[in-house]
Homo-oligomer: A and B are copies of this chain.
Amino acid sequence: MPTIGEIGEPALIRIFAGGGAPPGPSVLAPNGDDAFAFLPAPGDAVVATTDSLVERVHFLLDGPPRLCSRPEEIGRKLMRVNLSDLAAMGSTPESVLLSVHAPLTLPVAVAEGLARGIFLEAEAHGVTIGGGNVTRTDGPLVLAATLLGRARPEQLLLKSGAAVGDALFVTGTLGEARAGLLLAQDPRELSALGVSAADAEQVLSRLKLGQEAVRAGVALARAGLLHAAADISDGLGRDLRRMLEPAGLGASITGATIPISSATARVAAALGLDPLHLALEGGEDYELLLALPPDREAELRETLGAVNVACARVGTVVAGSGFRLNSGEALHLGFDHFAG
């Protein structure tokens, strides 16, 4: 099995340059020049985000199949964690720059699998591979991507702007990726846990690939209903705080309305856990948190329904920086990327 050290840098660059959406007429300097260059449409804002996946922190190469471990899954997830950030801005993704830091012993087949996963998501979202960089490391595989997108400036979904009395909505379901992680870490067989193969597949797939909120974000940007939006990557509790605390605001959350999939609920029950805690504290859901005037709820449901995205009202923005469940219990913080 040849390694990337054997095929050399130019061949490795070609692997990661060999897919994605073809460059459109706005691309002025394609992949291979000193930098990527494009001409934004008149009046368009440019939106940029960067996010990384690190071996043994975010994925295991050749790890157990319950975890994100197949190269193609890892490539897809690298794109999705970045697509999620653009979605939360209401931005349409356009191009990506890749930084691959890889040990020379990495099999070429792994690099090709990573690239296939990246290309799959890139092609699904019309994203061109604008360029990037490969370098060797003597440590774990580190994958960084910078995703560039466009948005109309007046339609940008910012994290700031929520107001007292705003309704708080979330898209999709929460806690599923955390349920997947806890299931993946449990040494017991599914049959011993009483978890069905279908439920396991659903929560593990969510853990491996996250959620793709691009259609929802773009539809919401066009609709112009929102005061604020953020992605939910570190747990609803933490992402609520990030949205509201800088403005001195808090939230009253109705635990019973937090959307939890049946699979998540059943897996949580099998593991002896409260699914509400998974939803509040679990990271990697990659759904959207939305704040809007409560009288626009019908329009919100119509907008998201048109792109087949579910949503649920989870609470209300309140004055002061407290975060409370309707039970009166204080909300916990979410996922800490630095927890050892």
A103 nearest CB across to chain B (Å): 9
A332 nearest CB across to chain B (Å): 16
Considering the complex, which residues of chain A in the window 134-174 have a beta carbon less than 8 Å from any beta carbon of chain B? 134-140, 142, 144, 146, 148-149, 151, 153, 156, 158-160
Contact present for B97 and A146 (CB under 8 Å): yes
Contact present for A85 and B35 (CB under 8 Å): yes
Q: A4 at interface (Cβ–Cβ under 8 A)?
A: yes
Contact pick for A33, options B8, B146, B158, CB 8 Å: B158
With contact pairs A35-B49, A97-B48 given, residues A54 and B136 touching in the complex (Cβ less than 8 Å)? yes
Bound-complex Cα distance A99 to B46 (A): 19
With contact pairs A144-B99, A144-B144, A153-B28 given, residues A130 and B37 touching in the complex (Cβ less than 8 Å)? no
Considering the complex, which residues of chain A in the window 14-68 have a beta carbon less than 8 Å from any beta carbon of chain B? 28-29, 32-40, 42-52, 54-58
Contact present for A99 and B135 (CB under 8 Å): no
Bound-complex Cα distance A135 to B337 (A): 6
Contact pick for A142, options B101, B148, B231, B338, CB 8 Å: B101
Interface stretch, picked from A86-94, A115-123, A261-269, A318-326, is: A86-94
Q: Which residues of B contact A135 (CB under 8 A)?
A: 52, 54, 57-58, 337
Q: A196 at interface (Cβ–Cβ under 8 A)?
A: no
Copies in the complex: 2
Contact pick for A9, options B12, B137, B144, B336, CB 8 Å: B336
Q: A131 at interface (Cβ–Cβ under 8 A)?
A: yes
Q: Which residues of B contact A55 (CB under 8 A)?
A: 139
Bound-complex Cα distance A54 to B135 (A): 8
Bound-complex Cα distance A51 to B99 (A): 7
Contact present for B46 and A131 (CB under 8 Å): no
Q: A5 at interface (Cβ–Cβ under 8 A)?
A: yes
Where the two chains meet, the residues of A that have a C-beta atom closer than 8 Å to any C-beta of B are 4-5, 8-9, 12, 28-29, 32-40, 42-52, 54-58, 85-86, 88-89, 91, 95, 97-99, 101, 104, 130-140, 142, 144, 146, 148-149, 151, 153, 156, 158-160, 229-231, 246, 336-338, 340
Give 3 nearest A-B pairs by CB, closest first: A139-B139, A35-B49, A34-B88
Q: List 10 A-B residue pairs with CB atoms under 8 Å apart, sorted by A's residue number.
A: A29-B89, A33-B158, A35-B86, A42-B43, A50-B98, A56-B137, A99-B99, A99-B144, A101-B144, A104-B338
